[in-house]
Structures are given as C-alpha cells and as structure tokens.
Structure 1
C-alpha cells in the first residue's frame, strides 16, 4: 500500500513538472530512477532480478542501458528512419506534390463548409504518408488555405481545421503507432489495417462533421456579435519549384511495400519499416538524379535524411527510453500491481481501466501540447494491466495512442498551432478553442469504437 501511495505521488509530481515546462526527458528519468531506488530499498531486490551486475545501485543505471540498447536497434531505428524519409520527401518536394494533388478534387466544389470539413478528411489521409504534424499543417497552408479563403471561409476556421489534420497518428510512418504495435507484440502493418483503420474511419467521419457544424456556428456567432474579421485579403506565399507529378507516389511507396509484403498479401518476403524506408530513399535519390542531372548534388542530399534521423534520436527515441524508465519505476514500486488487484476486487473491467488511462493521457496532452510524453510513459504498462484481467492489450493501447494525438491537437501550445496561427495572423488560443469540440468528439468516438470493435 505504501509503495502504491509513493507511485501516485510520483505520477502527480511528474505530470505537474511536465506541465510546468520542465524537460520531459529529465523528469521521466528522474521519477523512474527515484521509484526504482525506493523499491530496491524497500524490497532489497535488484530491479534486474537474476541478471544483476552485482550492485543494486549500478543495476538502476544498467536498466537504462539495457532499455536504450534494445530501443536503438528496434523501435528507435524505425522512428529515426521514418523521420529521415519524411524530411527527405519534403526536401525534394514530393510531400508538397502529393498534397497539391490530393486537394485538387476539393477545388471543384463550391460549398464552403463542406470543403472546409473535407479539408480535414484529406489532410488526415495525407498524414499517413506525411507524419509530421507541423510539416503537414504548413503544406496545407500553402495548398489549401488560399482555396478556403477564396470560398469565403474565415482565417480562424481554416486554421482550426488545418492544425487538426494530423490528430490521428495513423500507419507505419507514425512513431506512436510503431510503439503501440511493438508493445502489443504485433506487426505494425497488422496494427494499422486490422485495428487502426476500422476505428479511424468512424473518428474521421465524426470529426469532419463536427468541424463543419462547429466552425459554421462560431462564424455565425462572430458575425452576430460584430467580431467577425474584415474581408479577407489574398493569402500570398513564396513560390517554390514544383516537383514532377509522379513524385506524389514517392511518399506512398514505403507504405505500399509494407502492405504488399505482409500477412495480408505476399508472405514469402519479409519487409520491415526500416527496410521499406531505405528502399524508398534509394528510389527517390534515383528519381532526383534523373531530374537534376547532377549526381554530386543528389548524393550529397542523403545528409538531409541522416540529419532527420539524428534530430529524432535526440527528441523522440530518448523520450521513449525515458518513458520506459518511468513505467518500470511504477511497476517496481508496486503501483501497477495494486491497481490491478484493486480493480479486480471492485469488479472493474478492462474498459474502465482503458477510459481512465486514456483520459489521463488526453488531459496531459492538451496541457503540454505533446502526446508523446504521456503515451510513452504509460504505454509499456498496458500489457501488464490487460493480461491481468485476461484482455487484449490493444483495447488499451489503441485508444491511448490515438487520443494522445487527438487531444494534442486541441492545445494552444502545440507546435503546429503556433506555426499556423503565426502565419495566418490569428490567436493560438482562439484556434485551440475552435478545435476543442471536434477533438472531444473524436476522443469519445475513439473510446466507443474501441469497445465495440476490439
């Protein structure tokens, strides 16, 4: 019981520190190490069990070493390769070409709020191939924002929709999706097709409808209150060289490989995410060599890919290790075991646990503007909790993973929100206010559909 109380206090202190803008990595490391140290003092046992180094103190840090070693060669390499490929796609103009091609059908419609809602739908689909929330938002600003203004949509409504286009982290290009799949012990392609897509279809439809209704309501309210902005000026942006049309296929190519060589189609060839990304990179560089006719420049461009990998090693992969350190601390201190036994005794099922964990992640994500810290910290606990009550870990991991992105998109301090608001000239809190109801609806639909389908 005492250990559980310590675990609760440590969790509260950790979330509070992250909210106060303390470094997320350091907070999770410090909290996890502190709980493991206390657990070692209380029990006299090493956190490594029979694999002790011979010193219980050294064992605390050896756990971090072991975790980092396993993650760098596994999930960490996946996250880094995906990030590097995404940066390279942006560098050669392939992401922008895909976005401009995808929004082309919307240009033919003349129903402003329908186009506004479908802007979210198209953007969310693009997010499968363009995993960066900020990168996708800026692409939508360049390609879709001028169209929305021309249709008479106010800047604030357009901005609110655009910042939410990456609210669902879908597909093998998502680091969070890869972590969820690995934690559940399944292939990421299976996680995407069998679990994410059925739930995401309902969520995307719901958010699309909510955006149409909510943005139209707020626009009418602004007009009635006399707070509507003046007539919109034409939005101007710097013109860039347009990539060839077939470049739109390059961001899609790795996903096509993963789905082709998976348990759904061809099983004789094994294909993982990292391999697919390097094949995609090689094909892209060949295309660039043909386009540029300058081998030296094209070969030098590979540095863009590796720079993207390096940035995500520093930002994301280290956060995964920190999150697992925190999760191990909660387990060692006895909080997870206590929660499992208590919920069993009170007759609570996995659904109740899932809702509580999902809401904790949602609140933390809104306040911090990032879903990564909360999800990385609590995701490793899902299999333990689910197994204890005889449930599939996916029923916890799927809503936790999806809602971490949904809730993040309603935060006024989200990087994408700050970037978009600054470019279009609106207030970040006004954008977040417009996004809140659609994201709350998305959270509710995610929980309901998970209970019904998983």
Structure 2
C-alpha cells in the first residue's frame, strides 16, 4: 500500500496547491482524479469488473470520467442546474432586487444603531435565500444597504463587516450543498434541512449576538478610523429607476420554489401519494413567472427572450458547481480504486470514539482549507462521496461528519483573507481586506465553535 499512499499524498498536495493559488478547482480535481485512476491502473488495480470496461486501461480511465458525469448530472446535478437557472432568471427580470429592497425596508425603522447590527446580520442571512451567492449578495447589499446604515450613524467598517458575513449557513432546500449532501447521505431533502436548521439557527443567533458586542468594541478601539468616506457615493447607490420599473409583487417570485416545496410538504400530510420533487416544483415556478412576464410585457416573444436566461443559468450551474462535484467524485473514485478507502474504513472500524474523532478531523481540515483558499466548499464537494462509507465504518451517522463540515466550509469565508466576499467589500469602501477581516473573524469563529458543539450534541449517531 506504500506506493498507493505516496501517490495519493502527492496528488493531494498538488491539487490543494492549485486550488489555493486560484487555479480552476473543478479542473484541478478532475486532473487529480484522472492521475489517481491512471496510477490505480498502472499499479494493477482494476477500474471495472471483468467484461464491464472498455477492454483497455487508458480507455477505462476516461470511461470512469464519463460515468461520473452521468451519475452526478442524473441525480443532484440536475437539481443544482435548475436552481442556478431559476436564480439567474430572477436576477434578469429584477425580482431579486425587488425582494432585497422589501427586506431592507424594515431595517430603516430601527432607531437604535447598535440594535441594527444583529438585525442586519439576520435579515441578510434570510436574503441569502433569494441571492445564494455570498459575493453577489454582498455587491447588492453594499449598493442598497450600506448607504442606509452609514446614514443611520453606523460606522463604515461595522456596516461592511456585517454585510460581508451575511451569506453563511441559512437552512434552505434550495442550497446546492444541502441538495448534494442529502442525496449522498440518502436523506429526504426536507429532513436534512431540518437537521441543518437545528444547528444553523442557534448558531446564527449566537453570531448575531457576537456581532452586537464585537462591532461595538471595535468601534470604540478604532474611533474615527472606523468611518470611511466612499470615493463616489453615486457608485454605491442602486439604480432606483430600474427597480421602480418592476412590480412589487415580483418580490415573491424568488421564493416561489420554496413556497411550493413547503406547500406540497404540508399537503402531503393529508393527501396520500403526493410527492415533492424540487426540480419539478422549480420548473413549475419558472413557467408561472414566464406566464406573468408575458402578460406584463404583453409579448410572449419578449418574455421568451428574457426566459432564456434560465437555460444560460443552468449552464452556469453545470460549469460552476456540478463539474466541481464531478471533480470531487472522480477524485474520490481514484482513491477508492487504489484501495485506500477500504484500508481507512478497516482502521476506524470498531474503534471507541472513532466517529467523533473522524468528524473533528474532517471539520478542522475543511476549516484550514477554507482559510487558505477563501472557502471550503471545494473540499466538501470533493470528499462528500467518501463520508457514508467512513461513517459506517466508524459507527456514526454520516450527517455527524457531513453537516459540520458543510457549515464550516461556508463560515470560513469570514476568516479567510483571500475570500472573494471579503475582497469585494474591502474594495467597495477602499480599505485593506484585513480591516474587514478583523470585523468578521470573531463572529465567524464563534459560529464555527457553535456548529461543532451543537452537531455533537444534537445530530443522530
């Protein structure tokens, strides 16, 4: 097993180096997986059972790649693509902007500026249901919410720091990471999200409380330095004319798939045989919106021209997330074909406390990777396929390993100097990323610790 171990370690180091240095993560994982599969073939490990492959090892390597793509696209991949497409369509028709504008309005009525900090954090996380990308949400909130907060007397760095923390661990069946984890661990999606909520909601409340005290403490220490003038206020203010053109009821459209999911879930309690499919419900929401768009524009052709954004968004979902999952699955398959997964499973089988130790190791590795690369989701997608087998060997539920890892992968953006959201917010107000990082790191660390503790207490073993 020594050649196999050395090969895996070498490929792991190279792939980690590439991802940390901003090479394309999906392609890096795919290339690493192909190298591992080639190594497995060269070392005499069969890639397919006799009579099942292409008959030649090099062709078998590419066949494994093809089979991995088909397997991922036919399961969780299509869900992710449809959700990405719907989100892109909502952005194109202006529904996301309207929804965010409505969500921001209640914050204007909070008179005490210290209370607005935790309120912004919690409302911002709710907004991540509408705009799931942390970077995209930060751009929107820096345009719409940042001027409002500064106008209320909140310091620039406090406002920017809270906005940089908004998209974290909000429980939602529309999240790509939840979809992948539920499918891999063989959980019903809503059941998995319910477990997610048991951990994430208390963690978010604690993070909001930490923000309340931490931002006040930082403001007192920094004094006038906490206030920064934008070079161009016009750049920070959204185009209100564009938002005004979109009817107010469009604010419901970004949440329509979620409303349908919850509605069908409730109806299924009373109607036998009624099932929920997130892909089908999202397509239903899409067709409803397209009909409304056709009526509003009074032109089906015009509505169609905009609706094509759904298809473009599906392509974006395929390239950004599905291929990342494919790369992770291929990398995992390479390790499995080398026989290391079986060896790892045997080493933890029956060991006392092995489950918690394995969960902690995965969580810490994700945290370290996330700090170095700007987010740990690439690692989460890379190893999620390994978790059911390792968890079974260690005698714990796969969710005990997967859920903390998934949440920490998202939370590490707040403690990474190279996270895109940190750099976007810092660039908007023309300050060093470390100044934003100072405002986000303590709440993020509090969230990580809370996730670990609650996971080990509340999740099923």
Give the conservation status (yes or no) of the 8 Å contact 1:6–1:333. Answer: no
Aligned to 1:285: 290
**Cα distance in 2 between the residues matched to 1:352 and 1:309:** 38
Residue in structure 2 matching 1:257, options 235, 260, 271: 260
Alignment of 1:290-309 (within 5 A): 290-309=295-314
Aligned to 1:331: 336
Alignment of 1:32-181 (within 5 A): 32-42=33-43, 44-50=44-50, 51-168=52-169, 170-181=171-182
Give the conservation status (yes or no) of the 8 Å contact 1:80–1:312. Answer: yes
Aligned to 1:241: 243
**CA shift in 2, pair 1:49/1:211, >3 Å:** farther
Alignment of 1:24-39 (within 5 A): 24-39=25-40
Shift of 1:209: 1.1
Shift of 1:120: 1.0
Give the conservation status (yes or no) of the 8 Å contact 2:113–2:153. Answer: yes
**Cα distance in 1 between the residues matched to 2:340 and 2:215:** 43
**CA shift in 2, pair 1:438/1:154, >3 Å:** same
Residue in structure 2 matching 1:415, options 420, 425, 429: 420
**Cα distance in 2 between the residues matched to 1:70 and 1:197:** 28
Gaps of 5+ in 1: none
Aligned to 1:318: 323
**CA shift in 2, pair 1:231/1:145, >3 Å:** closer
Aligned to 1:7: 8
| TM-score for the superposition, normalised by structure 1 | 0.92
Shift of 1:247: 1.5
Output one character per residue of 1:282-314: Cα deviation in whole Å (capped at 9) or x when no partner: 111222223222332112111211111112212
Shift of 1:232: 7.4
Deviation larger for 142-151 or 338-347: 338-347
SS in 2 for 1:69: helix
**Cα distance in 2 between the residues matched to 1:56 and 1:107:** 64
| TM-score for the superposition, normalised by structure 2 | 0.91
**Cα distance in 2 between the residues matched to 1:201 and 1:230:** 32
**Cα distance in 1 between the residues matched to 2:238 and 2:261:** 36
**Cα distance in 2 between the residues matched to 1:55 and 1:232:** 62
**Cα distance in 1 between the residues matched to 2:7 and 2:353:** 23
Aligned to 2:348: 343
Shift of 1:161: 1.1
**Cα distance in 2 between the residues matched to 1:437 and 1:217:** 12
Gaps of 5+ in 2: none
Shift of 1:344: 4.2
**CA shift in 2, pair 1:86/1:435, >3 Å:** same
**CA shift in 2, pair 1:408/1:333, >3 Å:** farther
**Cα distance in 1 between the residues matched to 2:422 and 2:93:** 25
**Cα distance in 2 between the residues matched to 1:252 and 1:229:** 35
Is 1:383 the counterpart of 2:381 in the alignment? Answer: no
**Cα distance in 1 between the residues matched to 2:130 and 2:272:** 23
Is 1:18 the counterpart of 2:19 in the alignment? Answer: yes
Give the conservation status (yes or no) of the 8 Å contact 2:400–2:455. Answer: yes
Shift of 1:408: 2.5
After superposition, the CA RMSD in angstroms is: 2.2
Deviation larger for 288-297 or 112-121: 288-297
Deviation larger for 237-246 or 311-320: 237-246
Shift of 1:184: 0.6
Shift of 1:345: 7.0
Shift of 1:94: 1.5
